[in-house]
């Protein structure tokens, strides 16, 4: 049997990027031989094995044929006769379809190296259209390598458009989609992921609520970029520049969905978009079965981001309600993430990227003030049950009044 490094490991070595996980392909072997050599099978009918020591993935060379809709709709054919070239042709992009032996001899039948130099994300063969997940993968690679100057080849974008229009994207499971979306959001230029999806018509299918933001104007005084879609991309861009976690990036993407519902005659104003957006945020959250912390933060940021911006003008009672809604006493981290998302929203505006955001420290100070209310003295005074809760609230409100007064002097 011959063993080759394939996919990302070869691509990233040629790009001079650090290689983290290595995928291997095995030519000329049977499943029985792999098992006899101590490899552990990954799935029942999938010709992929884990190395007994390194745990890295070793896949038998295989061909694939589409036999139905969705991911289940593939038949695999793995046998010792399948050649390296036959295995490589089923891969998504030419830059992912190179293999390398232990002497670093490159097998590159589909000119991945040429496309690496040309900075092109190009499909290997028309079979690209057999797996709709590839639309998301290409958009994700575009987000990752945008800084190196990579773009999607026009003919590949054309195939992605056909896939988007064919209805195949709807066959993707929430789990597969979320895996790509979450990885793409964590890339250096997540906004490119959304842009590429939009360019090929996939955004309209996957997240029509985000797609609908393009072409919706906002008041120029607060939003020099005017367009809500452009603003959303900038907020996402800021979230990556500021190394925000996935929760914040997800919230940034969804924070303004309500603006897509504003009746045109109200443009460019979006009264109460924080509330109208909530059901859309919920729908998108559930469509992709986003993790609970992402779902929660997106809803909270959607509902309260304008409160964040107006923090310094909020009445102490409104400040208290905000802090209570976030349960800052038990969930300080979530409130920090809310503050970050608000800051990204404020900076994701044309020409305002470097503005200061005093609201952030003001909100942190308010949380500290409310949190500093001690329960023990109230217990000693004999408060208990619901009365204790009311007393704590009263003390917190007092603390916030004092905080606000001190901040304004
Ligand atoms: P990453 O750096 O994100 O791991 P990768 O290219 O290694 O990038 P993997 O998901 O680890 O991506 O997959 C390894 C290889 O398997 C890819 O390079 C590609 O050749 C192939 N591959 C993975 N998923 C698909 C797919 N859906 N369609 C076609 N080829 C795929
Ligand atoms: Mg990989």
For the CA of 7, the closest atom of ligand 1 is 18
Is ligand 1 within 6 A of the CB of residue 196? no
For the CA of 97, the closest atom of ligand 1 is 20
Query: What is the 3-class SS of the chain, one letter each residue?
Result: CEEEEECHHHHHHHCCCCCCCCEEEEECCCHHHHHHCCCEECCCCCCEEECCCCCCEEEECEEEEECCCCCCCEEEEECCCCCHHHHHCCCCEHHHCCEECCCCCEECCCCHHHHHHHCEECECCHHHHHCCHHHHHHHHHHHHHHHHCCEECHHHHHHHHHHHHHCHHHHCCHHHHHHHHHHHHCCCCHHHHHHHHHHCCHHHHHCHHHHCCCCCECCCCCCCCCEHHHHHHHHHHHHHHCCCCHHHHHHHHHCCHHHHHCCHHHCCCCCCHHHHHHHHHHHHHHHCCCCHHHHHHHHHHHHHHHHHHCHHHCCHHHHHHHHHHHCCCCCHHHHHHHHHHHHHHHHCCCCCCCCCCHHHHHHHHHHHHHHCCCCHHHHHCCCCHHHHHHHHHHHHHHHHHHHHHHHHC
Q: Which CATH architecture has domain 1-110?
A: 2-Layer Sandwich (3.30)
Digit-coded pLDDT (tens) for 312-334: 999 999 999 999 999 999 999 99
Taking the centre of ligand 2 as the mean of its atom positions, its distance from the CA of residue 245, in whole angstroms, is 22
Is ligand 1 within 6 A of the CB of residue 140? no
Percentage of the chain exceeding pLDDT 90: 93
Is pLDDT of 206 > 70? yes
Is pLDDT of 72 > 90? no
Is ligand 1 within 6 A of the CB of residue 7? yes
Nearest bound ligand to the CA of residue 10:
1
Nearest CA to ligand 1 atom 12: 8
Taking the centre of ligand 2 as the mean of its atom positions, its distance from the CA of residue 20, in whole angstroms, is 8
Nearest bound ligand to the CA of residue 91:
1
Taking the centre of ligand 1 as the mean of its atom positions, its distance from the CA of residue 187, in whole angstroms, is 16
For the CA of 133, the closest atom of ligand 1 is 27
**The model scores a pTM over 0.85:** yes
Is ligand 1 within 6 A of the CB of residue 96? yes
User: Which pLDDT score is estimated for 189?
Assistant: 98
Taking the centre of ligand 1 as the mean of its atom positions, its distance from the CA of residue 233, in whole angstroms, is 26
Mutational pocket test of ligand 1: of 10, 13, 23, the residue with most ligand atoms within 8 Å of the beta carbon: 23
Is ligand 1 within 6 A of the CB of residue 131? yes
Model confidence at 44, pLDDT cuts 50, 70, 90, reads: confident
User: Which pLDDT score is estimated for 172?
Assistant: 94
Q: What is the mean pLDDT of residues 30-34?
A: 93
Is ligand 1 within 6 A of the CB of residue 64? no
Is ligand 1 within 6 A of the CB of residue 134? yes
Nearest bound ligand to the CA of residue 135:
1
Taking the centre of ligand 2 as the mean of its atom positions, its distance from the CA of residue 176, in whole angstroms, is 15
User: Which pLDDT score is estimated for 70?
Assistant: 56
């Amino acid at each position: 049997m011959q063993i080759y490094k394939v996919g990302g490991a070869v691509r990233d070595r040629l790009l001079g990027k650090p290689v983290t996980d290595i995928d291997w392909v095995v030519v000329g072997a049977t499943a029985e031989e792999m098992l006899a050599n101590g490899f552990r099978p990954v799935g029942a009918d999938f010709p992929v094995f884990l190395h007994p020591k390194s745990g890295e993935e070793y896949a038998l060379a295989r061909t694939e044929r589409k036999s139905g809709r969705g991911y289940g709709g593939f038949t695999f054919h793995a046998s010792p006769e399948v050649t390296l070239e036959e295995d490589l042709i089923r891969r998504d992009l030419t830059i992912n379809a190179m293999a390398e032996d232990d002497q670093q001899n490159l097998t590159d039948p589909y000119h991945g190296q040429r496309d690496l130099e040309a900075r092109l994300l190009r499909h290997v063969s028309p079979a690209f259209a057999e797996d709709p997940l590839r639309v998301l993968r290409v958009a994700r690679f575009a987000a990752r390598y945008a800084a190196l100057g990579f773009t999607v080849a026009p003919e590949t974008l054309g195939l992605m458009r056909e896939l988007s229009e064919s209805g195949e994207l709807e066959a993707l499971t929430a789990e597969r989609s979320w895996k790509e979306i979450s990885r793409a959001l964590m890339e250096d230029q997540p906004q490119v992921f959304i842009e590429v999806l939009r360019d090929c018509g996939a955004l309209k299918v996957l997240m029509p609520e985000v797609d609908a933001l393009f072409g919706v104007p906002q008041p120029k005084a607060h939003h020099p970029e005017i367009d809500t879609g452009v603003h959303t991309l900038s907020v996402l861009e800021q979230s990556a520049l500021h190394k925000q976690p996935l929760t914040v990036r997800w919230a940034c993407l969804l924070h303004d969905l309500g603006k897509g519902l504003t009746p045109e005659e109200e443009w460019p104003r979006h009264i109460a978009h924080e509330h109208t957006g909530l059901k859309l945020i919920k729908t998108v959250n559930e469509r992709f079965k986003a993790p609970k912390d992402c779902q929660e933060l997106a809803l909270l940021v959607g509902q309260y981001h304008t409160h964040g911006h107006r923090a310094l003008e909020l009445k102490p009672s409104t400040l208290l309600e905000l802090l209570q809604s976030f349960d800052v006493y038990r969930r300080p981290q979530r409130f920090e993430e809310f503050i970050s998302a608000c800051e990204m929203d404020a900076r994701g505006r044309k020409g305002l990227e470097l503005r200061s955001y005093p609201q952030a420290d003001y909100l942190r100070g308010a949380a500290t003030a409310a949190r500093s209310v001690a329960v023990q003295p109230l217990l000693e005074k004999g408060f208990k049950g619901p009365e204790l809760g009311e007393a704590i609230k009263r003390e917190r409100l007092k603390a916030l009044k004092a905080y606000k007064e001190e901040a304004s002097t």
